[in-house]
Structure 1
Amino acid sequence: MKILVVEDDRVLCDVFATSLRDAGHEVHKAFDINSAIDRLRGRGYGLVILDYYLPDGISLPVAEYTCVACPDARIILLTGSGVFPNGEASILAPCVDWMLRKPVPLEDLHALVDYAALNAELRPS
């Protein structure tokens, strides 16, 4: 699966990217809203892993743009804050499929990525 990881913590981004590449995925990285939107243009991602807080603001515009640029992509929103204690992210950004709280165990991330990949394969064309 082609994945875009959008995370401003470069060490964490590298950990996620390396782990997902080792699992056989094609992974690209972005560290802020502008670079994420640039990466999304015409690139056909199947999954975007998106940190909620980025240096240039809250990342919900990236989620919205993902819906337009990659309409089949799924979105995992990551947050280390107490926002959305009851899953309200899906109300503010209907394109967000799942939310994980940091620190994210790699096993949990892989399980959700595998689930997203399986569902993408099962979707009718």
Structure 2
Amino acid sequence: MKILIVEDDLVLCDVFSTFLRDAGHDVLEAHDINSAIDRLRGRGFDLVILDYYLPDGVSLPVAEYSCVVCPDARIILLTGSGVFPNGEAAILAPCIDWTLRKPVPLEDLRALVEYAALNQHRAAK
């Protein structure tokens, strides 16, 4: 599975990347909105793991752009804040499939990535 991790916490990003590479996935990283959009161009990702707050703003434009250039990609939104307590992010960006709260247990991430791999093509919403 080809995964883009968009996370500005470099240590956390490295932990996620290493964990997912060790599980056999092809992982690229981005640390802000502009680099995420650059990485998404023409790369055919299957999954985007997206931190909600990035140094250059909230990441919803990345989710929207991902839907355009990688329409079958699934999106996991990460947040350490109290926003979207009931998963409301999908209302603002319908292409967001799941929301996980930080700190994210690696086993939860693994389970969700495996689930996304089994259900790779976006179901009609």
Same fold (TM over 0.5): yes
Q: How does 1:89-104 map onto structure 2 within 5 Å?
A: 89-104=89-104
The residue identity in structure 2 corresponding to 1:72 is: D
Long gaps (5+) in structure 2: none
Amino-acid identity (%): 83
Deviation of 1:86 after TM superposition, in Å, equals 1.6
SS at match of 1:110: helix
The runs of at least 4 aligned residues of structure 1 exceeding 6 Å deviation read: none
Q: TM-score, normalised by structure 1?
A: 0.96
Hey, what does 1:47 align to over in structure 2?
47
Hey, what does 2:120 align to over in structure 1?
120
SS at match of 1:120: coil
Hey, what does 2:73 align to over in structure 1?
73
Deviation of 1:85 after TM superposition, in Å, equals 1.1
Report the Cα distance in structure 1 between the residues aligned to 2:6 and 2:16, rounded to whole angstroms.
10
Q: TM-score, normalised by structure 2?
A: 0.96
Deviation of 1:23 after TM superposition, in Å, equals 0.1
Report the Cα distance in structure 2 between the residues aligned to 1:117 and 1:90, rounded to whole angstroms.
20
Deviation of 1:94 after TM superposition, in Å, equals 0.3
The residue identity in structure 2 corresponding to 1:110 is: R
